[in-house]
């Protein structure tokens, strides 16, 4: 396990952290595959995201309302909805990667409070199936996650964050929505072999950061025109501590050594720096941005990982939340008062402190400038290719 961890995570990790990962992977096996709660707590310290009646309601047009019950690690997305007790009718949420894992849980929870949700998925068919099977539980389907939302107002649109042209098409599709109150940047890929996006970006930072940056930049003008406050919520990860930022070689094109987990860590570090940088630039507007760690969850995010051990065994041994619990902090970030929580990193429905590397204002601004430059170069090439046709 020790060589596996060192190879698949990051060559910059300390030996102490690597030993801890290896210990977490081996201890349950030694205990007849039983995973006691103490091991689950140990796994969380590693920082790896292992992929997922009636009631009175209060409108968000009124003064912000604090949650009516304590929220924490084991709270579910539905618990958060119930705690805030807020009527979201008339609100519109856009959720990327909404067809599975914590994405579909986020869609379901927001829809249960009356929000209209635009579910963005690489496959429209997969997105529509997830809505019918999991959210609405239509035509006698089994109710999953403890509840269903038969009347859920969910629209599915196609979005491939690994292709800037697809992002352009999605932005065009979203022009049909009257407003965007919650922009949830949830989609991502994790720890796969080295690949590139349509525009030649390293796939993990290309999908997890560049694609979301480009989408957000195009949607912000209309969000700024809205009268009501709105939120940008970035699903990051405590796995940001596995990565380091190389602003001169973000795409591993100039000799930088690629490791699946090191590249994933860089992309998650970029998520945090982006959210904080975005919030800096939104001061004076009615938009706030936050980022979060959802928890250690076994979800389809694991499908791209590079080995059998990483794909099947580690998610089972190290998870500490269900997908329902994993979506709780995302929903909390949507509903919490933006005047109190802005530009923050959240974990277990509360403000937390990320690694020191995620707090660098210099890296925050440097990443923003590098991202704009890289995107501009890619878009210029795209325009030249279109003109040539």
Q: Which residues contact 342 (CB under 8 A, 6 or more apart)?
A: 279, 288, 289, 290
Q: Helix (H, G, I), strand (E, B), or coil: what is residue 388? A: helix
User: Between the CA of residue 157 and those of 76, 125, 126, 329, what are the distances in Å?
Assistant: 26, 10, 11, 24
Q: How many C-beta atoms lie closer than 10 Å to residue 210's C-beta?
A: 27
Answer yes or no: are the C-beta atoms of 130 and 101 closer than 8 Å.
no
Residue among 159, 158, 140 at smallest CA distance from 148:
140
Phi, psi of 109, rounded to the nearest 5 degrees = -65, -45
User: Between the CA of residue 132 and those of 98, 125, 153, 325, 380, what are the distances in Å?
Assistant: 13, 11, 11, 21, 40
- For residues 248 and 226, what is the distance between their CA atoms, to the nearest angstrom? 37
H or E element that contains 3:
helix 2-8
Q: Which residues contact 146 (CB under 8 A, 6 or more apart)?
A: 76, 78, 324
Answer yes or no: are the C-beta atoms of 154 and 119 closer than 8 Å.
yes
Distance in Å from the first CA to the final CA of the chain: 52
Q: How many C-beta atoms lie closer than 10 Å to residue 202's C-beta?
A: 23
Q: Which is the catalytic residue, given 134, 214, 264, 345?
A: 264
Residue 134 falls in the annotated catalytic set: no
User: Between the CA of residue 166 and those of 123, 158, 199, what are the distances in Å?
Assistant: 12, 8, 11
Residue among 366, 323, 332, 368 at smallest CA distance from 352:
332
Task: Please give the structure tokens belonging to residue 385.
Answer: 């290719």
Task: Please give the structure tokens belonging to residue 221.
Answer: 């003008």
User: Between the CA of residue 44 and those of 100, 348, 368, what are the distances in Å?
Assistant: 22, 12, 30
Q: How many C-beta atoms lie closer than 10 Å to residue 21's C-beta?
A: 25
Active site amino acids: 264
């Amino acid at each position: 396990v020790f060589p596996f961890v060192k190879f698949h995570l990051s060559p910059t990790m300390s030996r102490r952290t690597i030993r801890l990962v290896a210990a977490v992977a081996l201890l349950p096996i030694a205990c007849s595959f039983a995973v006691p709660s103490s091991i689950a707590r140990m796994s969380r310290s590693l920082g790896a995201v292992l992929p997922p009646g009636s009631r009175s309601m209060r409108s968000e047009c009124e003064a912000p309302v604090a949650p009516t019950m304590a929220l924490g690690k084991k709270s579910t997305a539905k618990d958060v909805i119930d705690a805030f007790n807020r009527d979201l009718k008339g609100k519109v949420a856009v959720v990327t990667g909404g067809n599975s894992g914590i994405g579909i849980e986020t869609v379901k929870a927001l829809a249960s409070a009356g929000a209209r949700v635009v579910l963005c998925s690489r496959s429209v068919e997969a997105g529509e199936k997830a809505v019918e099977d999991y959210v609405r539980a239509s035509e006698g389907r089994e109710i999953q996650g403890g509840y269903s939302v038969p009347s859920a107002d969910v629209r599915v649109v196609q979005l491939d964050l690994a292709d800037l042209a697809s992002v352009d098409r999605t932005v065009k599709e979203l022009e049909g929505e009257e407003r965007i109150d919650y922009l949830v940047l949830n989609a991502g890929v994790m720890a796969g072999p080295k690949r590139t996006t349509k525009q030649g970006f390293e796939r993990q930072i290309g999908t997890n950061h560049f694609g979301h940056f480009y989408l957000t930049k195009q949607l912000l003008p209309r969000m700024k025109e809205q009268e009501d406050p709105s939120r940008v919520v970035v699903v990051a990860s405590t796995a940001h501590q596995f990565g380091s930022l190389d602003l001169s070689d973000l795409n591993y094109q100039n000799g930088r050594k690629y490791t699946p987990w090191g590249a994933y860590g860089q992309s998650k570090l970029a998520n945090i720096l982006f959210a904080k940088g975005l919030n800096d630039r939104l001061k004076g507007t009615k938009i706030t941005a936050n980022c979060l760690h959802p928890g250690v969850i076994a979800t389809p995010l694991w499908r791209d990982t590079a080995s059998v051990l990483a794909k099947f065994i580690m998610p089972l041994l190290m998870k500490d939340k269900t997908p329902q619990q994993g979506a709780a902090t995302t929903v909390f970030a949507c509903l919490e008062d933006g005047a109190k929580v802005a530009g923050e990193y959240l974990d277990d429905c509360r403000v937390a402190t990320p690694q020191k590397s995620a707090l660098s204002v210099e890296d925050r601004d440097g990443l923003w400038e590098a991202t704009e430059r890289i995107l501009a170069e890619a878009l210029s090439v795209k325009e030249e290719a279109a003109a040539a046709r």
